[in-house]
Every structure is written in structure tokens, then in C-alpha cells.
Amino acid sequence: QQPVQSPQAVILREGEDAVINCSSSKALYSVHWYRQKHGEAPIFLMILLKGGEQKGHDKISASFNEKKQQSSLYLTASQLSYSGTYFCGTLDLTGNQFYFGTGTSLTVIP
């Protein structure tokens, strides 16, 4: 039931790009992305809805392939402030079950 994220951890230098994947075994209606910095609450990034959506703001974007039940988060030209743990959250077709993914720790170094 819990979505699986990959990679588990990644270290980038400033300016490099990263892709974080989220894969579910269940059919999904929506995928949510959150970022959590150490010691802080998770912060909402974006929602992608059924229909093969793509979204983005600034240098962070995401796609949702409902047929594959997968979503990817793209971080381009990473900044130090991007460091944290990224979680996807998935909502199933009933709209009743929401689960967070396994998490991806991202560290951006100068």
C-alpha cells in the first residue's frame, strides 16, 4: 500500500539536477509531493491529478503517469535550500486512502 520512492538518498552539488520517483501498486487518483527539512513539518509542494498531469513552479516540476501508477519529481539547477527529505503522498481512486511514500533524502552541497 505504501508507495515506494527511489532513490532512497541522493547528494548533489549546487546546480545539478535530480529526479525522484514514486511508484504505487494501486491505481491512483492523485499524487502529492512534500518536502520536510530536519526538525520541521512537511511542506506541501504540489498535487498532480489523474489525467497524466505535469506541473511545476520555479525549478521544481513533476509528472504523473496514471497508467504506470508512477510520479516523478524533477529538481533542476538545485539550490542549497532544496535539501531535505521529499515524500510523495498518494490518494487512491476511492479518495479514502492516503499514504506517504518511503521518502528520499536529498542533500545539496556547495
Q: Tell me which residues touch another protein (CB under 8 A).
A: 2, 29-30, 32, 34, 36, 40-44, 47, 49-50, 85, 87, 89, 91, 95-103
Q: Which is nearer to another protein, 79 or 97 (CB)?
A: 97
Question: What single DSSP character describes residue 82?
Answer: G
Name, in order, each residue with C-beta under 8 angstroms of 38's C-beta and a sequence gap of 6 or more: 84
Q: Which is nearer to another protein, 43 or 109 (CB)?
A: 43
Residue linked to cell 535530480: 18
Instruction: Give me the least distance between CB of 15 and another protein, in Å please.
Output: 27
Quickly count: other Cβ atoms within 10 Å of residue 90's Cβ: 26
Instruction: Give me the least distance between CB of 44 and another protein, in Å please.
Output: 5
In angstroms, rounded to a whole number, what is the distance separating the alpha carbons of residues 92 and 25?
Answer: 10
Q: Which is nearer to another protein, 52 or 98 (CB)?
A: 98
Cα-trace Rg, the chain: 13
Instruction: Give me the least distance between CB of 9 and another protein, in Å please.
Output: 11
Instruction: Give me the least distance between CB of 99 and another protein, in Å please.
Output: 6
In angstroms, rounded to a whole number, what is the distance separating the alpha carbons of residues 83 and 104?
Answer: 10
Q: Which is nearer to another protein, 41 or 68 (CB)?
A: 41
